Structure 1
Amino acid sequence: MPSTHLGNLLGAALRHQRQRRELSQRQLAGLAEVSQTAVARIERGERSPSIPVLERLFAAMDVQLVVGVEPLDTHLDARIDELAARPIAERIDDLGLDRMMDALKDFPQALTGSTAAVLQGAPLPVDAVEIALRWEDSKRFTAWLAAHYGQRWNARWEEFGGVWLEPEEPGEHRWSTLYGEIRATMCDELPETVEVRHGGRDYRVVPLVELELTEPRAADLLRRYRDRRRATGD
């Protein structure tokens, strides 16, 4: 079966979660009670798995799959073109990034996802500050959220509020706060970062090459941006 865009995204997300836990395909297959061949084909985007199979695979790694939507390709391309014409400083201001970084200054962190890509020059759409945080800082982060009017994304209601703030609780790691929206990647150790500087300020960001390996959505947007540049001859 030919690979599809959605199949590739699902495969990349599954592979990323498995590798983070240092599991082999055989080990994950055993935990989820599926065949190793099925895991391999899903990760390569060669198989469109059923929802129950996907749920078992992710549940075996103590995570769950969150479904979202995004604009159609033509709208997304137009948005990327629009952002490419704007200075990075404007995009940083629109995101309220510096205000959020000042508020989170006491937390060890790394900027990741599309936020990190923007700071490295890629004009990707970003609607929330994306950071990596350590699990050991989870309780302090929960207290910070409570003190700054944090509300967690409720996938059932498709709005913020009505669910527990704690990252340990099931659900997407996404919160609205007094300073804007945060999307967090919770991890045992922070990823390796590089330093970039804009407007007299330094930011610690996950490098583009690492984003393409570990962040499926950012990787897809980066590929789209590069394809767009080649198509327009930039």
Structure 2
Amino acid sequence: MSSTRLVTILGATVRRQRHLRELTQRDLAELAGVSQTAVARIERGDRAPSILVLERLLAAMDVQLAVGVEPLDAHLDARIAELAARPVVDRIDDLGLDGMLDRLADVLPQVITGGTAALLQGAPVPVDALEIAVRWRDSTRFTSWLATAYGQRWNARWGEFGMLRLEPEEPGEHRWSTRYGELRATMCDELPETIEVRHAGRSYRVVPLVQVELGDAHAGELLRRYRDKQLAGGG
């Protein structure tokens, strides 16, 4: 990923989080102790924020930066092309999606979001975990389910699962390993609007693709990458 693309993604992330909280650029600037001009330039991708400024902006919105890695562009393109050639039902089986959803269904309301929602709508994005939205008021039930599923919370400090409390209210990424596979959650006050998709006779409630692209920086980047490749190739 070039530095220009990274700056664009960081700016889009700050803007998206600000919009989710219904803050103006001036509001965010005052909360973070920076100038409104700085916020505007960062969101437009005109300026690469320092780590300190980025952490202050995100902390002002009660979120934190999570750093990850992904394959180099050529390898990523090859992976996307490989997934595009495979039926969606095969990719659902690979993820073990149905088994985990069956175990969650009777426990708490949830909808599928992120890269998993994109997969179910046919997008060839690499997915390694079930991604769902869960309401904060269902946190206790969610925590209980995680405990029965031998859940372990992702520990960013040590780069592995474990050594952290399970509760979503505790600091840390909303990411757990369970006996049924990896699970990532977006905690929210109300579940987002969904559409229904069907595969192999089964129904799934998913966040629409356009909302996935707007609300998930990583999945959105992969979707735009795939779309750009398709346009470039005349697809």
TM category (shorter chain) comes to over 0.9
Q: Give structure 1 stretches of 5+ with no counterpart.
A: none
Separation in 2, partners of 1:211, 1:11: 17
Separation in 2, partners of 1:231, 1:99: 38
Match of 1:46 in 2: 46
Separation in 2, partners of 1:25, 1:182: 33
Match of 1:231 in 2: 232
- Does the aligned pair in 2 maintain the 1:116–1:207 contact within 8 Å? yes
Following TM superposition, where does structure 1 have runs of at least 4 consecutive aligned residues deviating by more than 3 angstroms?
none
Separation in 2, partners of 1:107, 1:8: 36
1:17 aligns with 2:41: no
Separation in 2, partners of 1:45, 1:169: 32
Match of 2:139 in 1: 138
* Amino acid corresponding to residue 96 of structure 2 in structure 1: G
Match of 1:37 in 2: 37
1:39 CA displacement: 0.8
Match of 1:189 in 2: 190
Match of 1:158 in 2: 159
Alignment of 1:97-176 (within 5 A): 97-105=97-105, 106-176=107-177
1:3 CA displacement: 7.7
Q: CA RMSD in A?
A: 1.3
* Amino acid corresponding to residue 218 of structure 1 in structure 2: A
* Amino acid corresponding to residue 13 of structure 1 in structure 2: T
* Amino acid corresponding to residue 11 of structure 1 in structure 2: G
- Does the aligned pair in 2 maintain the 1:211–1:218 contact within 8 Å? yes
Separation in 2, partners of 1:9, 1:37: 18
Q: What are the superposed Cα offsets for residues 95-136 of structure 1, whole Å, 9 maximum, x if unpaired?
A: 111001101103211111111011111111000111111111
1:70 CA displacement: 0.7
Separation in 2, partners of 1:96, 1:232: 32
Q: Give structure 2 stretches of 5+ with no counterpart.
A: none
Q: Which moved more, 1:39-48 or 1:85-94?
A: 39-48
